[in-house]
Amino acid sequence: MKMSTILIVLLMSISTFAQNDQKGFYVGYEILEMAMNKFQYFAGEIGYRFDKKNHIRLAILEVKLTERHLSSSTEAYAVDGENVEGYFRGYEINYDKFYYKNLFISANMGYFHDTYEHTILDEKVENKTFTIGTALGYRHSDLFGIKHFYINFSLPVRYYFNKLEETKLGDTTVREHSIVNNIWLFLGYQF
């Protein structure tokens, strides 16, 4: 069973509390991508809740990507081969609209800077691009009965305006990046 399927089942099996109606700011730390990459650097979100149905948030993502994560077919699957590590910096603004209880759909736009570097050879490829996209998500407030503690699970898909062409670094292939998806899992606090 893939990790994403396990996470979805886990999140949906948590007893659903009513969404907190409080307006205000919230901050969260992304734990899934960070865990898959040995918690190197930082990924988080800051947002504002206008009402029960409408949120806006900024995801700030600075992640050093491990060789294992990039080549894993159940995680990133961004490279085919060995000896390539990476780094991505992303800033993505999301407008979340809740449509059924804790489920939401998002529109997003952002900027991403991806770097892939061979660990032995002096070869690398970089790509900088603006993006647009959408996401499906699940947000649960007052997690484990702790007031203001939340979990935000999001599956964003984005289009790269400046796509990264398939590139060879030594014997390893960095796959094309034109439509890119992620799995984000934020834990945070709403003020």
Q: What is the CATH number of the domain that holds 33?
A: 2.40.160
Instruction: Tell me how far apart the alpha carbons of residues 135 and 108 are, in angstroms, rounded to a whole number.
Output: 8
Q: Which domain holds residue 171?
A: 3-15+22-190
The count of other CB atoms within 10 Å of the CB of residue 150 is: 21
Against a cut of 0.75, is the pTM above it? yes
Q: What is the DSSP letter of 82?
A: S
Beta strand 184-190 with 84-100: parallel, antiparallel or unpaired?
Answer: unpaired
Number of residues that make up the chain: 191
Q: How many CA atoms lie within 13 Å of 72's alpha carbon, on the beta-carbon side?
A: 13
- The domain total for the chain is 1
Residues 163-177 have a mean pLDDT of 92
Beta strand 84-100 with 79-80: parallel, antiparallel or unpaired?
Answer: unpaired
The model's pLDDT over 61-112, given as tens digits with 9 standing for 90+, comes to 999 999 999 988 888 888 898 999 999 999 999 999 999 989 999 999 999 9
What mean pLDDT value characterizes the chain?
Answer: 88
